[in-house]
Amino acid sequence: MKIMSVNSGSSSIKFQLFIMPEEKVISKGQVEKIGFDDAICTLRYNGEVYKKVLPIKDHAVGVKMIIDGLIEHKVLKSMDEIKGVGHRIVQGGEIFKKSELIDKRVLDDIISLSDMAPLHNPAHATAIKAFKKIMPNVPHVAVFDTTFHQTMAEDAYMYAVPYFWYSKYGVRKYGAHGTSHKYVSEETNKLLSRENTKVIVCHIGNGASISAVKDGRCVDTSMGFTPLDGIPMGTRSGSLDPAILNFMENKLNIGTDEMYEILNKKSGYLGVSELTSDARDLEAAIDKGNKKAKLAFDLQAKRIADYIGSYYVYMGGLDALCFTAGIGENSPRLRKLVLDRLSVLGVKYDEKLNNENKLVISTNESKVKVFVIRTDEEVMIARDTMKFIK
């Protein structure tokens, strides 16, 4: 059967079309700059790339263009071949403990959580409505970034703030990238040939998070109430002393909204290097001797190692450490910076294997297996969607 995995933003729709249960991707693409006269619709199929630039006024038009394009290029004979659509949703709060078939209640609940993910949940809801309008007779499934982290205990997800902040307003750690952490931890257990494991997953992309997974269940994660928390990222600061906010707001004569913008979009790699948020450009600058670029990498690597050490203690040991996502999968330099800090845990790695981005980069003497695993969030969405079709 054919199932579509969808990841929607405020002005974009990304998709992959799978044959399930074989998990074979037959087409992928995206619609970008929705709402603009020069919007772009891209479709990839059978090694070819088809692109159109034209006005796309809203998500409904974008969805129709995707379906029409799949039929035009004979990926589909008709829309009826698609048996289900899975939608990635960033924030599920405490309402959603698992993926859900989307009905009015589920959609209303997704919208109700928008104040926790103002850049994401409203866009997801808009896209869901558009897809349901174009494809009303197939199951639509919401797959949440946060549900994998719902197994954390109170001591991991609570903050030491007035308790009513949590009981009345839901202030707690929710985490993110849950589908990626789940996929990679499951793949790791397959490599270890057992499920009673202690695994740490480092999802390092422009957004970055770390999770501690014990026996297949998340017990802690670095992102918090929002994706701003945790380690430094491409443009996000990660955790910092909250007193800095008031101090710098007064120094810069700015308000809370502008400070939030700085911490989300002008910090991390970009803020420290004063150069770029792109890890590849940062590495090129490091090779030329740029000290601020090196500092940006060093800061992130140190914080990643801090979390790994903390999770090692929290889980009472570690069987495997996994690197995934764009930077985690493709930057031997960052992995080396992290792993060099972990020798005290008995972590040993092979420089050559690391430089070649091999699946296993630890040595036989290492007390902890170290893997580089390509994540696949889209296939996790397709898997969950298929369950509801069955």
Residues with catalytic function: 145
- For β-strands 369-372 and 320-324, DSSP reports them as parallel
Q: Is the peptide bond between 21 and the residue preceding it cis, with omega within 30 degrees of 0? A: yes
**How far is Cα 214 from Cα 316, in angstroms, rounded to an integer?**
10
Residues 1-17, buried b or exposed e (16+ Cβ, 10 A)?
ebbbbbbbbebbbbbbb
Q: Which of 31, 10, 6 is nearest to 122 (CA)?
A: 10
What contacts 345, CB < 8 A, 6 or more positions away?
308, 309, 312, 318, 367, 368
**How far is Cα 212 from Cα 386, in angstroms, rounded to an integer?**
27
Q: Which of 66, 139, 46 is nearest to 101 (CA)?
A: 139
